[in-house]
Structure 1
Amino acid sequence: MLDRYNAMSIRAAGRVISSYSSSFSLATNLLPSAMRRDIANLYAMVRIADEIVDGTAEEAGLTAEQVARALDDYERAVLAAPDLHFHVDPVLHAYAETARRCRFNPDHVRAFFRSMRMDLSQATHDPESLGEYIYGSAEVIGLLCVSVFLSGEDATPGARAELDRGARALGAAFQKVNFLRDFAQDEGHLGRVYFPEIQQRGLTEETKAHLVRDIQQDLRVARAAVPGLPRGAQVGVAAAAGLFEELNNRIDRMPAEAVRAGRVSVPGPVKLRIAAKEAAQVARRSWRPE
């Protein structure tokens, strides 16, 4: 009976990523099945925390105090989850299995929830608070993904440090791209403006160009670390980097006024071409003649 419940929970967690993010869903589908399952389980937990703070709980009628309490309750449940082998919440049940096997660092989880809590009380940031926010909301997710990729693998401290550096850079790039692509929603609906330079000068061509270049640098650091990943993880991570690189390039080409007005996206056929290109590049890099 437990095996059936485990399987149902994994399916439930997998539906979360396919329902919320076509880009991440496509990239994770390029991973081996065990990695794909664990990344989906992690994503589902993170997505639920996001929904608590990003307006869904408020739309359901929760007061600000109730939203804060729901986030606190969820953090406690997530931190305690690996010690329990049965959860009435299928997503938490699936996440707990992954967290146990991949040995997630609870400090990374705490950092994530600290950033989620900042969204409840802080609508603007200075450079220091933005760095803290991006670390907790995105970079530690990259670090947890590295724990998934290296589960059952031996990595030297130096190799792990290089992978962690790349993972943090990729997480930061993802988050910064999302800040730009979701600018209209964040500012108009949630009242949030994350980048200090946009708070000071607005989303202008100049500020947009500066942020695009910053994201490009993050992506370069992230891509440099991809060859150090286990072979099975490389295609999925490279595809994710390629998809967000395309988003960043589209933002770069768009007038700032258009970025301010709506959400930037990549059409499905373009996503498929990017994924195929990244897979081919990984295969060429990995091939060695006899």
Structure 2
Amino acid sequence: MTGRRDDEVTGLALYDRTAEDAAAAVIAAYSTSFGLASRMLGPRVRSHVRNIYALVRVADEIVDGPARSAGLDAETERRVLDDLETETLDAIDRGFSANLVVHAFARTARECGIGGDLVRPFFTSMRTDLTTAQHDGASHDAYVYGSAEVVGLMCLQAFVNAGEGAPRQPEPRLVDGARRLGAAFQDVNFLRDADHDAGALGRDYLGASTREEVLARIDADLDAAAEVIPLLPADCRRAVTAAHDLFAALAVRLHGEPEPEARVRVPNPVKALVAARAWLGFSPRSARA
């Protein structure tokens, strides 16, 4: 038994709030750019998007180094990842998990209509990182769908359904835009991290695709996504515009530095300008502007 004041939040409400605080802490520790964009989300959706990305981050860490640094071999990493997937799907069904990040995600999934059709492809791509070092065009596309496009679709479910009662399916134009924005984000990161992925992780996600081909795909995906961002609910548009424009700025720098000597970044003053433009309601920028 634990003592409490009568005016304190207790029981499931306290557990829910603690789970969401844990998810927010994960995001704050791992991504400053995401934190910048997420602060522009309206309160209706902000915690849901943090909950989604916190689970994604934990799964990434299982396959991208920390688990191996802790002494896990590939078979054990696979088992830990499988357990996380099972726990996530079970938590969505039952509404509770002893894992705070999973609990936060499950709350979002139940409210916003995120089901196994999106969760399973994500974990499938995460498992690919344990088994596939060299990708071709087909395996790249499958990996990007599970690792990035479905994350965009999860966020779209939150944008459309948070606080709205029974979840509904977003319209096809929004679905296509969410997928293409997620794909662009992932391909930008593949180019930025190519040296690290090859040297530290032994992975080549882009295969035979040339740098020019990847950049052309990124530009097309960013421009397609920009066309549908104005169709999003008003309390989501600024944040998605900011995220889009941050990656458009990265793409411009990748175009300008064919063989960068260091990981391409957006300088803080440019980030501030991107945030200001988005906050003031400017339309998403062209990928080549």
Q: TM-score normalized by structure 1?
A: 0.89
Q: What letter is aligned with 2:219? A: Q
How far residue 154 of structure 1 moved from its aligned partner, in angstroms, is: 9.4
Q: Shift of the alpha carbon at 1:50?
A: 0.6
Q: How does 1:111-130 map to 2 (within 5 A)?
A: 111-130=121-140
Offset at 1:156? 8.9
CA contact (8 A) 2:123 2:146 kept: yes
Q: What is the root-mean-square deviation of aligned Cα atoms in Å?
A: 1.9
Distance 2:274 2:127 in 1: 35
**CA distance in 1 between partners of 2:195 and 2:28 (Å):** 24
**1:194 aligns to 2:197 (yes or no):** no
| 2:175 corresponding residue in structure 1 | 164
Structure 2 unaligned blocks of 5 or more: 1-9, 285-289
Q: TM-score, normalised by structure 2?
A: 0.89
Corresponding residue for 1:72?
82
1:226-271 CA-to-partner distances (Å, cap 9, x unmatched) read 1111111111111100001111111111131x2xx43211122221
Aligned pair count reads: 272
Choose which of 224, 242, 247 in structure 1 pairs with 2:245: 242
2:243 maps to amino acid: A
**Which residue is equivalent to 2:222?**
219
- The structural deviation recorded for 1:278 is 2.1
- Aligned-partner SS, 1:150: helix
| 1:137 CA drift (Å) | 0.5
Distance in structure 1 (CA, Å) of the matches to 2:91 and 2:282: 36
Query: Does the alignment pair 1:141 with 2:141?
Result: no
Moved more, 96-105 or 77-86: 77-86
1:132 match:
142
Asked if structure 2 preserves the Cα contact closer than 8 Å seen for 1:115 and 1:136, the reply is yes
Tell me the distance in 1 between the aligned counterparts of 2:251 and 2:219: 8
CA contact (8 A) 1:183 1:262 kept: no
Unaligned segments of structure 1, at least 5 residues: 199-206, 285-290
Moved more, 102-111 or 81-90: 81-90
SS, match of residue 88 in structure 1: coil
- Structure 2 match to 1:271: 271
Q: State the SS of the aligned residue for 2:98.
A: coil
Deviation at 1:208, TM superposition (A): 2.2
Residue 3 and residue 185 in structure 1: after superposition, are their counterparts in 2 closer, same or farther (change >3 A)?
same
Distance (whole Å) between structure 2 residues aligned to residue 41 and residue 97 of structure 1: 9
Which whole-Å CA distance do the structure 1 matches of 2:87 and 2:213 have between them? 40
Please tell me whether the aligned partners of residues 111 and 167 of structure 2 are also in contact (alpha carbons under 8 angstroms): no
Among residues 40, 58, 70, which one is paired with 1:30 in the alignment? 40
Q: Is this contact kept in 2: 1:138–1:175, CA < 8 A?
A: yes
Tell me if structure 2 keeps the 8 A contact 1:45–1:95.
yes
Structure with the larger helix share:
1
Q: How many Å separate the matches in 2 of 1:3 and 1:282? A: 38
Would the aligned equivalents of 1:184 and 1:262 in 2 still touch at CA under 8 Å? no
